Amino acid sequence: MSQSNLISPDAFSSHLYQKMLRINPGIEDLELYEFRYGLNNLIPEGGWECVRLEDPASIEERVSKRSFYDSIQIKPRMEDRIVLDEKIVHLTRMLMVGLVTGDYLEEWVRSIFYFDIRGFYFLHRTEYFTTKIRAHFGGKPFRQFEAKEMGLERLQAIGYKDFKAANAEVDGLFIEVVKKIIAAKGTPVVLAIAGPTAAGKTEIVERLIDDFKQGGKKVTSIELDNF
């Protein structure tokens, strides 16, 4: 389908629905009318045909820069209601149109971007372990676990217990490593834990405190939220 033929919203959404089934398995849990409902906040005023596509290389370069993330507004407001950041909306529209027209390969979209089915937008996949980091740790991680968080991708809603279950093994290893450091170095120890909003910093600190207290150690925490 060419971009000049993106006139009918129903035809566009039907074609996109088929493409998105292969982008995020959670789309299978949506009926077409539910999928269309999710698109309502993304339909441009001038229609999908007004969306101008960038070449994949330019998109990759832009979303890989720190300036792209620094410019994103976390909770922009419009007429007293919280809306999606304009750059995220623009990126999502481009990827959706490019999938429908065939300008963007499904494999490329899946490898570079993550579709959040709960918010109905695309985000750039974060590469935590770069080549440089892997080389620093001898080319492989200290320990590997099954990627259980991948199972959260298709869920229409995620609660605290879902994240806790998915991260249980990783959190357990982190606590184990901290205890080994303390056993080797002794106390006092100052441990700084950093991460983005909702990364689980508070949870892991609370679990560390409980574990230390059970071991008879004195411990306290200092919060730096909203710094």
Question: What range defines the domain where residue 157 resides?
Answer: 140-214
User: Between these two residues, 217 and 163, which has the higher pLDDT value?
Assistant: 217
Our count of domains for the chain comes to 2
Confidence of residue 70 (pLDDT cuts 50, 70, 90): confident
Domain co-membership, 196 together with 116:
no
- Report yes or no on 19 lying in a domain: yes
Backbone torsions φ then ψ of 114, nearest 5 degrees: -120, 130
The pLDDT of residue 197 is above 90:
no
Please tell me what DSSP assigns to residue 97: H
Query: Over the stretch 217-226, which tens digit does the pLDDT of each residue have?
Result: 888 888 776 5
Last residue of a domain, one of 59, 92, 124: 124
CA atoms within 13 A on the CB side of 212: 23
In a domain? residue 222: no
Q: Is residue 128 pLDDT above 80, yes or no?
A: no
Q: How many CB atoms lie within 10 A of CB 32?
A: 13
Q: What is the tens place of the pLDDT at every residue in 28-51?
A: 999 999 999 999 889 998 899 999
Do 96 and 61 have their domain in common?
yes
- Residue 153 and residue 115 share a domain: no
Whether 21 and 74 map to the same domain: the answer is yes
> Domain boundary residue among 124, 152, 181?
124
Residue 7 structure tokens: 């006139």
Mean pLDDT of 192-217: 83
Lowest mean per-residue pLDDT among 71-75, 82-86, 160-164, 210-214: 160-164
Kindly state whether residue 8 falls inside one of the protein's structural domains.
yes
Q: Are residues 103 and 198 in the same domain?
A: no
Judge whether 135 lies within some domain. no
Within a domain: 224: no
